[in-house]
Amino acid sequence: MNNSETINPRLISILKISAFLIFLGRAYQHIVWDAPYRTFLWDESMLQGIIENIFNTSWNEYVTSGAVDNGINTMTKVIGVLYLACAIVALIIKPNMKKVGKLFLLGGSFGLFILAVLYCKQKFLHVGQFFEYMIQFMSPVLLYLALFTTVEFKKIRLIALIAIAFTFSCHGLYAIGYYPRPGNFIDMTLNTLPISEPSAHMLLKIAGILDFVVAIAIFIPKISYPALVYAFIWGGLTALARLVGHFHIEFLGNSFNQWTWEVLIRLPHALIPLFVIVADRPEISFFKNKLLNIKQHTETVS
């Protein structure tokens, strides 16, 4: 008996929406913007020997070649189309579609894992940068486990908690300044709240400390619920801040074009805590009604 026959349908709906949003956001990024594949493909220390010895091309000729650059752009857009297919599958997939699920959910998750590695490399091998993406590359895996395996639900819940803990604590490493605090953190805070720059730095430091508290508290039964509620709210706010903090009414189209995908890939930072909340407190009627309506809609579309 697969988990899909025993797990609350609302939980499946949350995981579907989470995976869908991540894949959709990454698809838009790849098709319209760019992705960090050049971080690897233009790494002289790693690839110079291969390019010069196997392809008989000088490194300078390789990195300045318009054909190579166009090839990378084309590859990026093709990967974006594949992510779009993963998004559609994540939304409509059913328990009798295991082969499709393995191909698109696990395959898409592997692609997200590689992206996390590349972003880590791009950020000077900050390990925290990699694990900050854990919710994103694990969301499709959680959906696969819930739909197609017999893994005990308590283990699926534990995997979700671990993903939350890593994502929030690694985000906290940047917020407190352990790693250089990104300038866009300050910009988003100043553009969203009427505070001074020193106050923004202090607010981010407090938020970072709370990220660490949440990462621990979600594993303590007596206080896990309020910690998860905080994670749900804070995860949603930090996702929306990508758009709100960079929103300019005079450049309306550009604001949505540039930042909406950033919101989409981060909304699961709220949805995976919500997944655990609903698992622990299935009696919450608000979530029940909303998610059942979403489930009925997705079933009608499929």
Q: Among the listed ranges 115-119, 140-144, 298-302, which one has the minimum average pLDDT value? A: 298-302
Task: For residue 21, name the pLDDT band (cuts at 50, 70, 90).
Answer: very high
- pLDDT for 67: 95
Query: Within 13 Å of residue 29, how many CA atoms lie on the same side as its CB?
Result: 19
Residue 291 has pLDDT above 60, yes or no: no
Average pLDDT over residues 36-61: 95
Instruction: Calculate ∠ Cα 90-215-29, nearest 5°.
Output: 35
Residue 140: closest CA among 244, 234, 240, 24: 24
- pLDDT for 289: 57
- pLDDT for 168: 98
Cα–Cα dist 26/10, whole Å: 25
Cα–Cα dist 202/176, whole Å: 9
Percentage of the chain beyond pLDDT 90 is 80
Q: Among the listed ranges 11-20, 111-120, 179-188, which one has the minimum average pLDDT value? A: 179-188
Contact 242, 269 (CB under 8 A): no
Give the max Cα distance, the chain: 66
Task: For residue 230, name the pLDDT band (cuts at 50, 70, 90).
Answer: very high
Cα–Cα dist 297/302, whole Å: 9
Percentage of the chain beyond pLDDT 70 is 93
- pLDDT for 5: 79
Q: Among the listed ranges 23-37, 113-127, 181-195, 199-213, which one has the minimum average pLDDT value? A: 181-195
Contact 259, 243 (CB under 8 A): yes
Burial class (CB in 10 A: 0-12, 13-18, 19+), 91: middle
Residue 288 has pLDDT above 90, yes or no: no
Average pLDDT over residues 75-104: 96
Residue 266: closest CA among 173, 168, 196, 199: 168
138-195 pLDDT, tens digit per residue, is 999 999 999 999 999 999 999 999 999 999 999 999 999 999 998 888 988 998 888 9
Single-letter amino acid code for the residue at 96: N
Task: For residue 103, name the pLDDT band (cuts at 50, 70, 90).
Answer: very high
Which residue in the block uniquely carries the two structure tokens 């590695």? 117
Q: How is residue 254 written in tokens?
A: 């550009």
> At 133, phi and psi to the nearest 5?
-95, 10
Terminal Cα-to-Cα distance of the chain (whole angstroms): 23
Q: Among the listed ranges 211-215, 242-246, 261-265, which one has the minimum average pLDDT value? A: 242-246
Q: How is residue 56 written in tokens?
A: 């008989």
Among left, alpha and beta (phi > 0; psi -120 to 50; other), residue 195 is: beta
